[in-house]
Amino acid sequence: MEKNIQAIRGMHDVLPSQTRHWQYLEACVREVLGRYGYQEVRMPIVEFTELFKRSIGEVTDIVEKEMYTFEDRNGDRLTLRPEGTAGCVRAVLEHGLLHNQTQRLWYQGPMFRHERPQKGRYRQFQQIGVETFGMAGPDIDAELIFITARLWKALGIDGLELQLNSLGTAEERAAYRQELVAYFGCHHDALDEDSRRRLHSNPLRILDTKNPDMAELVAGAPVLADLLGEGSRRHFEQLQTLLKAAGVRFVFNPRLVRGLDYYSLTVFEWVTDRLGAQGTVCAGGRYDSLVAQLGGRSTPAVGFAMGVERLIALLEADGRLPETARADIYLVQRGEAARREALVLAERVRDALPQLRVLAHCGNGAFKAQFKRADHSGARIALVLGEDELARGEIGIKHLRNKLPQEAVAVDCLVGRLAEIFDKS
Ligand code: ATP
Ligand code: MG
């Protein structure tokens, strides 16, 4: 026998018992973002490879080793999107959405990164992302953080820590870069292979290392906050004032640099210690230079992305998720003519009582086996249509969750009787 084909490592099915969780989270996000006036945008999953190279940066984990890149039949270099910001900027530029206007956008969908799969780290994973354009001040940075804080509240997630840092301007980072090169250069022997490579190409990335052996060295590195100029400092202070005024707690994390090249000024992450090493559930920041970098007019921008699998893992750990939806009614039938009538009846019930979930048994099967399925479906009642009932123009109502005796009602009275039964619950 041939071997079964399995899903690709690091890529997972979301089964019916879990889709409820996803839908619950998505509904919460949609509701909260709607209340802030954000609009959904949907981009393709595949883009030209060049887009990601130009935006995320050549010397990043993602572009160096994590992208799913291939040549299509025309010989175009394409990539499964590893994140949503680049595609979103491409889309707003392509459709002229930045001409004299601000934008508040969000999207959701799968992202692809060839990482080492482990708990909370997958090769296909889901992000919900938010991007705003045309607003330069710390007020919009604060608004994004308020949105996330409100979302945690709506979902019932607590215990997340908000970490903040400022990456300053390009010039300030250039000065910082020199200090870092000098510092890490003095500790060359302690650097791992990745970091040695990055020492000259992109030393800030060394701070973002996931290698625990490097933790101590990174902890002793110079701090960018000390090199911030007046403008950057003011932006950062104003953001902190806004957060304090709204009662949003945060901690300053001078090592927070984020894994992508395009950030400037504000960067933030929401972190938990309950998910092991994969503790960041939401990350974002300002990227004022990206729009110009991709060919548009210089436009301030700030956004964030949430890792849906990690948020769901948190909700599951806390038992915060809704039960899987159960059927209300299971329709049991037996005999050729009854089967036909049963399907029509089920439709009639669905027309009249749209709030009820009606499962109709399909195909043959002994009554006993059908009642077993009815029980398993969670339905409160089974409707029973056999040849006897059909001959009398009646239908049986069997109460599955209490000791009430089975009833028989005229088919024409069924909807009325069901309304009564379910009204009482
Ligand atoms: P990490 O530091 O965990 O690698 P990152 O900085 O690469 O994250 P971003 O590119 O900022 O992550 O993506 C935003 C969020 O998407 C992350 O905070 C995380 O919740 C989620 N995420 C990123 N990569 C993965 C992945 N491979 N599997 C599952 N979720 C992920
Ligand atoms: Mg990463």
Q: Determine the atom of ligand 1 nearest the C-alpha atom of 310.
A: 20
Residues 304, 348, single domain; the answer is no
Q: What percent of the chain has pLDDT over 90?
A: 84
Please give the backbone phi and psi of residue 307, each rounded to the nearest 5 degrees, phi first.
Answer: -90, 110
Structural domain contains residue 401: yes
Residue 305 reports pLDDT greater than 80: yes
pLDDT given at position 198: 87
309 lines ligand 1 (CB under 6 A): yes
Q: Are 250 and 240 in contact (CB under 8 A)?
A: yes
Pocket test for ligand 1, best of 25, 52, 127 (most atoms within 8 A of CB): 127
pLDDT given at position 161: 98
What is the Å distance from ligand 2's center to 31 Cα?
Answer: 28
User: What is the CATH number for 387?
Assistant: 3.40.50.800
Residues 343, 413, single domain; the answer is yes
Residue 115 reports pLDDT greater than 90: yes
pLDDT given at position 320: 82
Domain range holding 376?
Answer: 329-423
Which residue, of 291, 317, 343, is where some domain finishes? Answer: 317
Residues 37, 81, single domain; the answer is yes
261 lines ligand 1 (CB under 6 A): no
List, for residues 17-73, the tens digit of each pLDDT value: 899 999 999 999 999 999 999 999 999 999 999 999 999 988 888 998 999 999 999
What is the Å distance from ligand 2's center to 114 Cα?
Answer: 10
d(CA 231, CA 169): 9
Structural domain contains residue 324: no
List, for residues 163-200, the tens digit of each pLDDT value: 999 999 989 998 999 999 999 999 999 999 989 988 98
Nearest-CA residue for ligand 1 atom 20 is: 307
pLDDT given at position 388: 93
61 lines ligand 1 (CB under 6 A): no
Q: Are 117 and 10 in contact (CB under 8 A)?
A: yes
Instruction: State which H helix or E strand residue 222 sits in.
Output: none
Residues 154, 274, single domain; the answer is yes
pLDDT given at position 266: 97
Q: Are 195 and 189 in contact (CB under 8 A)?
A: no
Pocket test for ligand 1, best of 167, 278, 290 (most atoms within 8 A of CB): 278
Q: Determine the atom of ligand 1 nearest the C-alpha atom of 210.
A: 2
d(CA 282, CA 272): 10
Q: Are 63 and 52 in contact (CB under 8 A)?
A: yes
What is the Å distance from ligand 1's center to 307 Cα?
Answer: 6
Which residue, of 285, 317, 349, is where some domain finishes? Answer: 317
Among candidates 157, 162, 158, which has minimal Cα distance to 146? Answer: 162
Residue 25, C-beta contacts closer than 8 angstroms, at least 6 positions apart: 155, 308, 311, 312, 315
Residues 297, 335, single domain; the answer is no
The CA-CA-CA angle for residues 226, 162, 167, to 5°, reads 30
What is the Å distance from ligand 2's center to 138 Cα?
Answer: 26
125 lines ligand 1 (CB under 6 A): yes
DSSP state of 227: G
What is the Å distance from ligand 2's center to 259 Cα?
Answer: 6
pLDDT given at position 151: 97
63 lines ligand 1 (CB under 6 A): no
pLDDT given at position 284: 96
Token pair 């028989």 is at which residue? 408
| Predicted TM-score (pTM) of this structure | 0.91
CA distances (Å), origin 81, targets 62, 65, 78, 86:
10, 14, 9, 9
pLDDT given at position 259: 66
Which residue, of 317, 339, 362, is where some domain finishes? Answer: 317
CA distances (Å), origin 393, targets 12, 102, 199, 359, 389:
49, 64, 84, 21, 6
Reported as a pLDDT band with limits 50, 70 and 90, residue 277 is: confident
Residues 302, 373, single domain; the answer is no
Residue 279 reports pLDDT greater than 70: yes
d(CA 376, CA 347): 22
Nearest-CA residue for ligand 1 atom 6 is: 259
d(CA 44, CA 81): 8
307 lines ligand 1 (CB under 6 A): yes
User: What is the CATH number for 89?
Assistant: 3.30.930.10
338 lines ligand 1 (CB under 6 A): no
